[in-house]
Structure 1
Amino acid sequence: MNERITPASDPSTWGRALDEAVNILSRGGLVVVPTDTVYGIAADAFTPPAVQALLDAKGRGRQMPPPVLIASVQTLDGLATGVPAGARALAEAFWPGGLTLIVRAHPSLAWDLGETHGTVALRVPDHETALALLARTGPLAVSSANTTGSPAAVTAQDAYDQLGDSVALYLDAGEAPGQVSSSIVDATGETLRLVRAGAISLERLNEVTPVEGPTA
């Protein structure tokens, strides 16, 4: 078995794996984590060299900054400012879950996620391993655990096959249940707009609050 891939599906036995993940992330290393959608590659959101290492591992430039995973909807106001009521309604309805919200980042935050133009993409994953890790680390920059242009990883082995030794640890919780990326809604304009269709359909979003479809 690959020594970088560590089982992390059972709360009664994942303690050592999560300890190691927390230690690696605190030192600026990278960890692959399971989520409810697909596997993600994670870095400490407040350590710019770690975020750059994440982008380098994926072969992605700073013009494509990673989203940030958080442990609960209550963290939203600590990271974002001027959140529209409709975006809050979506967060309450679909977090934890497969919805990413692009919001205005709080200007006081000491992070550098790339060319965000003052925004940040936030999500609360619906996966107990990811949530247990986030509860200990705080916000993590997390992008899908694949090289840019390749299929998203739905197992830890899929992720390792693409990212290899650029990641220090792979937390293995079996096959990702969702196997489709999150839906992304931009909440920084005058109206809410779906910019990437994914786990949550436009129809379901509109049951909560008006959301425009993707522009052609």
Structure 2
Amino acid sequence: MSTSATLSDAARALKRGEAVIFPTDTVYGLGVSVRDAAGPDVLYHVKERDRGKPIAWLVASLADLDRYGVDVPDLARCLAARYWPGPLTLIVRASDAVPESFRSAAGTIGLRMPDNACARALIDEVGCPLATTSANLSGHASPCSFAAIDPELAARVSLALPDPAGDQTKSGLASTVLTCTPTPHIIREGTITKADIAALEK
């Protein structure tokens, strides 16, 4: 697997609607441009993922919570202000700016702003969010380093982008996932705990 790919190479591939592997703050991600890909199907195919599991978007700013979400509760805004960028995915009702192919069956979308300079620069250069899942075959461990990316998975995508800053900052722990519709509750607990969230609810 080549380590020579650049951010510009990755952005060009994403703008062609192709899937790429790139770094985030938690693990390496597998993603597509939500504007240029027809939908998330390529991610399900490459990863061999259950199509019943929605794929969250990585976004570039706090403003994206209201751009791609609708009827966003105050708690979600408070949590985003406190923990974005960071390992928190907020599931909200999808706005009209979210193509139907990317919405869950319930009409929701998961949004997260990653605490990784390379990931955010890639989002900025592509010009839209990236629908992203962890860069592993389903049932296999998520890679915390470029060297740990499965060559079989890497062979199925256009390119894999190493983190220019190195991999020492990868937490290896998936983001906390909180659904905000209709009643907030944790779907998956990660670095941000139930107690952390409860503290902001008071």
Structure 1 length-normalised TM: 0.85
Does structure 2 conserve the Cα–Cα contact (< 8 Å) formed by 1:146 and 1:159? yes
Q: Counterpart of 1:104 in 2: which secondary structure?
A: strand
Distance 1:96 1:108, change over 3 A: closer
Counterparts of 1:39 and 1:108, CA distance in 2 = 26
Does structure 2 conserve the Cα–Cα contact (< 8 Å) formed by 1:36 and 1:97? yes
Does structure 1 conserve the Cα–Cα contact (< 8 Å) formed by 2:56 and 2:109? yes
Q: Does 1:71 align with 2:54?
A: no
Distance 1:108 1:122, change over 3 A: closer
In structure 2, what is the equivalent of residue 82 of structure 1? 71
Q: Does 1:102 align with 2:125?
A: no
Counterparts of 1:156 and 1:45, CA distance in 2 = 24
* Unaligned 5+ runs, structure 2: none
Distance 1:130 1:108, change over 3 A: closer
Does structure 1 conserve the Cα–Cα contact (< 8 Å) formed by 2:67 and 2:97? no
Does structure 1 conserve the Cα–Cα contact (< 8 Å) formed by 2:73 and 2:180? yes
In structure 1, what is the equivalent of residue 193 of structure 2? 201
Does structure 1 conserve the Cα–Cα contact (< 8 Å) formed by 2:57 and 2:132? yes
Superposed, 1:1-216 pairs within 5 Å as 2-3=1-2, 5-6=3-4, 17-49=6-38, 51-113=40-102, 115-137=104-126, 138-173=128-163, 174-175=166-167, 176-189=169-182, 191-209=183-201
Does structure 2 conserve the Cα–Cα contact (< 8 Å) formed by 1:146 and 1:152? yes
* Unaligned 5+ runs, structure 1: 8-16, 211-216
Counterparts of 1:66 and 1:179, CA distance in 2 = 19
Structure 2 length-normalised TM: 0.91
RMSD across aligned positions (CA): 1.7
Does structure 1 conserve the Cα–Cα contact (< 8 Å) formed by 2:21 and 2:154? no
Shift of 1:92: 0.6
Counterparts of 1:192 and 1:148, CA distance in 2 = 27
Distance 1:50 1:23, change over 3 A: farther
Does structure 2 conserve the Cα–Cα contact (< 8 Å) formed by 1:102 and 1:122? yes
Shift of 1:44: 1.1
Distance 1:68 1:46, change over 3 A: same
Q: Counterpart of 1:184 in 2: which secondary structure?
A: strand
